[in-house]
């Protein structure tokens, strides 16, 4: 796939909620963390929706059903219907259904969301490797995932049963910090069997396909907190993206992002949906400016001058780091300038 190498974040004269018809929002680290709403999320989403933007929630977390997720969001203050929620469980269920006979048994290693998605596709969830499954479906099981469930997956996969994973996110944000995600559990089965699963979730095409089929978006904007799933998924799908710094990605990681992980826009939080995005301008000396800040590189380090909103300083720094790295990864020292920005 040919993709232009992005050398700085884009600007937008329109507020993003008007420039795009649908926001494809990640949940963990974007809308909530540990079940509680992230600051400014509820108000920002309400304003975007009231302004005519369709909100769809696209999550790699396969544990909960769309109905449960919609009820949770509604309790937080974001009115949501189950049809507004697209999960990696739905994507992996469709992937499996395309490869096994109708009504086939599928060994479930996960939670209710995965079971419901499989039944939606006419498949029969089973819970033992001895139930003659035609496939193994592994998704995030939450804190209740036991070693016994991973053993069942390993037994079936070792016998040659096709193995599917909803996603391979190694971590997931929680109220207490970063905890192991489904990818960590997938690694356990991989180590035990030497096998490789087919994966459905972001950033891979099955999740993009599921999202397009269920939302019908014509000009979508992917909104996420992870470079390796949300932003790369947008890159793979050929759509624009907004990175918010409320989840797992740090400002330093953003500056060192490879081309596949460079978002179209950058914001501190979901308030970024409600405003135009300032232009990041290339200066004649190889520097970049945004807002009141000017960034450049000298002696293997970033240099930052001026003042203003911290996020504008970060946008200018992205221009320097990404342009110098080209198709690679920026290795300039960023600790000093990010400390100055409070990032």
C-alpha span between 102 and 147 (Å, rounded): 30
Q: Of 10, 21, 26, 225, which one is the catalytic site residue?
A: 26
Q: Looking at residue 335, what is its pLDDT?
A: 84
Q: Which of 67-81, 160-174, 186-200, 255-269 has the lowest mean pLDDT?
A: 160-174
169 in the same domain as 29: no
Mean pLDDT of 156-180: 91
Q: Looking at residue 34, what is its pLDDT?
A: 83
Q: Looking at residue 97, what is its pLDDT?
A: 98
| Residue from 242, 237, 206, 227 nearest 97 by CA | 206
172: confidence class by pLDDT, cuts 50, 70, 90: confident
Q: Looking at residue 1, what is its pLDDT?
A: 42
Q: Looking at residue 214, what is its pLDDT?
A: 93
214 in the same domain as 67: yes
More confident residue, 137 or 330: 137
97 in the same domain as 76: no
Whether the bond into 203 is cis, omega within 30 of 0: yes
Domain presence at residue 8: no
Answer yes or no: are the C-beta atoms of 223 and 286 closer than 8 Å: no
105 in the same domain as 50: no
Mean pLDDT of 228-257: 95
Last residue of a domain, one of 196, 217, 232: 196
Q: Looking at residue 251, what is its pLDDT?
A: 96
CB-based burial, 285-296: b 16+ in 10 Å, e otherwise? eebbbbbebbbb
Last residue of a domain, one of 248, 274, 300: 274
Q: Which range, 97-101, 142-146, 167-171, has the best average confidence (pLDDT)?
A: 97-101
Give CA torsion, residues 14, 17, 23, 27, to 10 deg. Answer: 120
Instruction: Flag whether pLDDT at 2 surpasses 60.
Output: no
Domain presence at residue 4: no
C-alpha span between 186 and 172 (Å, rounded): 14
C-alpha span between 343 and 335 (Å, rounded): 9
236 in the same domain as 171: no
Q: Looking at residue 276, what is its pLDDT?
A: 96
Domain presence at residue 6: no
Please tell me whether residue 154 adopts helix, strand or coil conformation: helix
Domain presence at residue 221: yes
Instruction: Flag whether pLDDT at 311 surpasses 60.
Output: yes
50 in the same domain as 76: yes
Q: Looking at residue 100, what is its pLDDT?
A: 98
259 in the same domain as 237: yes
171: confidence class by pLDDT, cuts 50, 70, 90: confident
Last residue of a domain, one of 250, 274, 298: 274
Domain presence at residue 82: yes
- Domain containing 124: what range? 89-196
C-alpha span between 207 and 229 (Å, rounded): 10
12-54 residue pLDDT tens = 999 999 999 999 999 989 999 888 999 999 999 999 999 999 9
- Number of domains observed in the structure of the chain: 3
Name 43's Cβ contacts closer than 8 Å, sequence gap at least 6. none
324 in the same domain as 286: yes
Mean pLDDT of 235-239: 93
Mean pLDDT of 316-322: 97
| Residue from 100, 114, 92, 102 nearest 164 by CA | 92
101 in the same domain as 177: yes
81-124 residue pLDDT tens = 999 999 999 999 999 999 999 999 999 999 999 999 999 999 99
Q: Of 10, 21, 28, 169, which one is the catalytic site residue?
A: 28
Instruction: Flag whether pLDDT at 306 surpasses 70.
Output: yes
246-304 residue pLDDT tens = 999 999 999 999 999 999 999 999 999 999 999 999 998 889 999 999 999 998 899 99
192 in the same domain as 208: no
Active site residue 26: yes
145 in the same domain as 130: yes
C-alpha span between 44 and 166 (Å, rounded): 29
183 in the same domain as 108: yes
């Amino acid at each position: 796939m040919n993709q232009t190498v992005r050398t700085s974040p884009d600007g937008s004269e329109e507020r993003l909620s008007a420039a795009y018809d649908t926001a494809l929002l990640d949940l963990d680290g974007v809308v909530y963390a540990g079940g509680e709403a992230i600051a400014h999320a509820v108000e920002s989403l309400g304003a975007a929706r009231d302004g005519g933007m369709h909100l769809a929630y696209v999550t790699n977390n396969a544990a909960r059903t769309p109905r449960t997720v919609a009820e949770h969001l509604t309790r937080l203050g974001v009115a949501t219907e189950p049809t507004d929620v697209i999960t990696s469980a739905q994507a992996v269920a469709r992937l499996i259904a395309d490869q096994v006979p109708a009504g086939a048994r599928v060994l479930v290693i996960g939670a209710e969301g995965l079971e419901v998605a499989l039944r939606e596709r006419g498949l029969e969830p089973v819970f033992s490797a001895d139930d003659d499954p035609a496939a193994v479906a592994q998704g995030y099981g939450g804190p209740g995932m036991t070693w016994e469930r991973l053993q069942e997956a390993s037994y079936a996969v070792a016998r040659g049963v096709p193995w599917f994973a909803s996603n391979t996110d190694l971590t997931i944000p929680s109220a207490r910090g970063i905890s192991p995600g489904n990818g960590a559990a997938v690694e356990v089965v991989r180590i035990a069997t030497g096998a490789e699963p087919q994966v459905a979730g972001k950033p891979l095409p099955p999740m993009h396909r599921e999202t397009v089929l269920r939302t019908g978006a014509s000009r979508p904007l992917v909104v996420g907190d992870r470079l390796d799933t949300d932003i790369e998924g947008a890159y793979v799908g050929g759509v624009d993206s907004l990175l918010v710094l409320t989840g797992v990605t740090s400002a330093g990681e953003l500056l060192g992002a490879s081309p596949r992980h460079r978002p179209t826009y950058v914001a501190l939080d979901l308030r970024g949906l409600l405003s135009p995005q300032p232009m990041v301008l290339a200066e004649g000396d190889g520097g970049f400016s945004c807002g009141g800040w000017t960034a450049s590189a000298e002696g293997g380090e970033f240099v930052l001058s001026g003042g203003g909103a911290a996020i504008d300083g970060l946008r200018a720094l992205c221009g320097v780091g990404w342009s110098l790295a080209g198709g690679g990864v920026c290795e300039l020292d960023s600790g000093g300038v990010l400390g100055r920005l409070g990032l």
